[in-house]
Each structure stands twice: as structure tokens, then as C-alpha cells.
A = this chain, B = another copy of it.
Amino acid sequence: MTDTRTKLLDAAADALREHEAAQASARTIAGRAGVNQALIFYHFGTVSELIEAACHRAVDEAADHYREQFDRVTSLPGLLDVGRELHQRERSVGNVAMMAHLMSGAGNDPILASAARYAMSRWNAEIEPVVARVLRDSPLAEITDSAGLACAVSASFIGLELYEGVDPEGAANALDSLERLGVLVDVFDDLGPIARRALRSKLKAVRATEPRRA
């Protein structure tokens, strides 16, 4: 099972996970895998296709790993707990960095773009039903759609990862702030009918004065 193909897939994923990304060239990846550079083209055709395959495998593994944890989530605090664990694990493993570099390079390379699209859609497919289930009984269900929220969460993860590479301390502060803001949602659910009524009337006012675009 540790044949050349998987060696190359591992090496490509590692290259993207670490600082490099721009240095994810055929020669460096092959060197990392301990195999000849020409084998990349024999097995995968192009470097981009190797990277695509590596990311495909990585995101599938990660999503599968969290599936049952997601299934057990029934409350928003519970979702935040899984999210925090997921963020820390994926970050330490380097998968978030991989995604960030993938999306950043998507502008130049259509193959990388399709890989990025697959990765994001895969994560959203996991997150979206959980968000929907958790918000179903909350007054928040009336102001947000779960699909949009899932996208927002994914995008923010990516942004925080990039930000962390530039200013680790600031990124940690940002994450703390977001977590504390999550308490706000929690309080809302506990407030019950009073908040629900206030929210409804407020929403009406906002929708009247500021019609949504397009």
C-alpha cells in the first residue's frame, strides 16, 4: 500500500500543509517522497493533478473523521465545541493551511480551482445539516439560513488560518472573541418569548428600511 502513488500523495499533501505551497514543485515533492521526479507525470499527468488528488484524499479523510461527531451534535454550544476541536486538530495537522493555499492558487490554475471547490463543498455538506438541526428550534432560524452560515463559517476558518501565519497573537484574540460572541446566541435561546418578539419586530423594521439587494 505504500507504493509510489501514495508516497507522492503524502509528499504533495505535506508540501501544501507546511509553509511552502509556492515551492510545491515537481522536484521538491518527488524529493520529499524519495522517488524520481518523472514519476509524477507518469502517475498523475501534471503536478496540479497530483495536488488535486492529494487534497481530495485529505478532505475526504478529515470529513469522514468528523462525521459521527457532527451527528451527535444537538445544541449550538455542542456545535461550537466540535468546531473548536476540529479547528485545532485540522490546524495542527495542517489541513486548513492546505485549503488556504489551494484557494489562493485557484485563480491561476483551473485544476486547483476545482480541487478547492470540491473541498469547500464537501465541508459545507457536513456542516450545513448540523447547523440546520441546531437552529431549528431557535428564534435565530428566522433570520439566517443554514447554508449561508455554513459557508460563512468555512470562509472564516480559512481567513483565520491565513491571518495566523501573519499575526499569531491577533488570530488567537480573534478566535477568542468569536467564541465569546457565541454565548450571545446561547443567551438568545434561553430568553424565550420576550426576545423572540423583540427579534421579530426588529426584523420587520430592518427589512422595511433596508431592502435586500438584488
Q: Which residues of A contact B (CB under 8 A)?
A: 19-23, 97, 100-101, 103-108, 113, 116-117, 120-121, 124, 140, 143-145, 147-149, 151-152, 154-160, 162-163, 165-167, 170-171, 173-178, 180-181, 183-188, 190-191, 194-195, 198-199, 202-203, 206, 212
Q: How far is the CA of A145 from the CA of B177 in the complex (A)?
A: 7
Residues of B within 8 A of A155 (CB): 156, 159-160, 162-163, 171, 174
Tell whether, in the assembled complex, residue B106 and residue A184 are in contact, meaning their CB atoms are under 8 Å apart: no
**Main secondary structure on chain A at its contact with chain B?**
helix
Tell whether, in the assembled complex, residue A174 and residue B159 are in contact, meaning their CB atoms are under 8 Å apart: no
A173/B195 contact (C-beta < 8 A), A165-B103, A184-B188, A187-B202 known: no
Sorted from nearest, which 8 A-B pairs have the closest CB atoms?
Answer: A159-B159, A148-B177, A104-B104, A148-B173, A151-B174, A152-B174, A155-B163, A19-B107
What's the number of copies of this chain in the assembled complex?
2
Tell whether, in the assembled complex, residue B151 and residue A158 are in contact, meaning their CB atoms are under 8 Å apart: no
Tell whether, in the assembled complex, residue A181 and residue B143 are in contact, meaning their CB atoms are under 8 Å apart: yes
Tell whether, in the assembled complex, residue B206 and residue A183 are in contact, meaning their CB atoms are under 8 Å apart: yes
